[in-house]
Amino acid sequence: AGTRFVCGLIGSGIGESLTPAMHEAEADRRGMPYVYRRTDLTALGLSPEEGVGLIRPAGLLGFSGLNITHPCKRLAVEHVDELSAEAATIGAINTVVFDGGRVVGHNTDVTGFAHGFARDMPEVALGQVVQVGAGGAGAAVAHALVSLGAGRLVVADLDPGRAAALATSVAGATGAEVVSAGLGDLPAQLSRADGVVNCTPVGMAQHPGTPFDPDLLDPRHWVVDVVYRPLVTELVRAARARGCRVATGAGMAIGQAVDSFALFTGVRADPDAVAADFARL
Ligand code: NAD
């Protein structure tokens, strides 16, 4: 008999996460025995520290791997033996693989965004890219955009210190041209940009609106929103109405699941099949 996989997700408020269902649907399609459990720290009344404290015991208990999500991605770095290159530069992990006795941390938000982008936006210009939002998702996206070949990446955030710190860290780690800009500079920066990525929570139900004035968009801009609840945000709607090429947050959500599944099992899922699951779920 083949390997039986036991995987899981540790994070807060993950009751609605589609990741467990995406993993199990892919395993079912392949007839692989695969169980994916959630450990919701909110529901269990556990702190983020107690959450990451479960990582090593899960390995000892025979888990194949874990996904780690908010608010544990940074703390979890202290609970692994080894980090992949992306995880080390970013200082955050969303995937843990138990490899024999070793605990290895990866960041499939980085690789997942890159794979999703390559699929949703093939052959778009990357001369100048503007990214709004420099938090957890923003850190992963900035590294991914540089890995995809962004010529000049401009990072803006409500918190200018956070944008500057991310720009410095990505530029330092990669040698790429990454600069920060104030939100007031967005009109000038967007006028020179090929595309823009929203990495703020603006567009979610509890953060309505758009992260910048959509009147700054021209049809030549491509637009990616990483928000995926809802998939069609105000920004996505406004950008489509202006004739922009647009991708939703589904690309990153699907990409991270495909890449984590591959790390857990050694098997690469067909992203189109996972996308169809995602759309159905
Ligand atoms: P975060 O809180 O770590 O970072 C958000 C950043 O946005 C902060 O730095 C904040 O200052 C900035 N910000 C907020 N409002 C802004 C505004 N109006 N203008 C400029 N900057 C602003 O959050 P996060 O974990 O990075 O998540 C951000 C969004 O990305 C959430 O909606 C989350 O659901 C989504 N996300 C999607 C995926 C996916 O797979 N598609 C993965 C991770 C996160």
Q: What is the pLDDT along the chain (281 residues), one digit of tens a residue?
A: 578 999 999 999 999 999 999 999 999 999 999 999 999 999 999 999 999 999 999 999 999 999 999 999 999 999 999 999 999 999 999 999 999 889 999 999 999 999 999 999 999 999 999 999 999 999 999 999 999 999 999 999 999 999 999 999 999 999 999 999 999 999 999 999 999 999 999 999 999 999 999 999 999 999 999 999 999 999 999 999 999 999 999 999 999 999 999 999 999 999 999 999 999 99
Q: For residue 110, how far is its CA from the centre of ligand 1 (angstroms)?
A: 15
Which residues surround ligand 1 with Cβ inside 6 Å?
70, 109, 132-138, 157-159, 162, 183, 199-202, 204, 211, 226-228, 249, 252-253, 256
pLDDT at 1: 53
Closest ligand 1 atom to 255 CA: 40
Q: Residue ranges of the domains in the chain?
A: 5-106+252-280, 111-248
Q: Is 73 a catalytic residue?
A: yes
CA distances from 236 to 132, 231, 247 (A): 14, 8, 8
Nearest-angstrom CA–CA distance, 27 and 20: 11
Nearest-angstrom CA–CA distance, 89 and 66: 20
Closest ligand 1 atom to 211 CA: 18
As a dihedral over the C-alpha atoms of residue 177, residue 180, residue 184, residue 189, rounded to 10 degrees, the angle is 10
Query: Residues 25, 66, 73, 181: which is the catalytic one?
Result: 73
pLDDT at 268: 96
Q: For residue 210, how far is its CA from the centre of ligand 1 (angstroms)?
A: 12
* 5-106+252-280 and 111-248 have identical folds: yes
pTM: 0.96
Rounded to the nearest angstrom, the gap between the alpha carbon of residue 208 and the centroid of all alpha carbons in its chain is: 21
pLDDT at 2: 72
Closest ligand 1 atom to 250 CA: 41
The CATH superfamily holding the domain 111-248 is NAD(P)-binding Rossmann-like Domain (3.40.50.720)
Nearest-angstrom CA–CA distance, 103 and 83: 9
For the structural domain made of 5-106+252-280, what CATH number should be given? 3.40.50.10860
Nearest-angstrom CA–CA distance, 139 and 91: 9
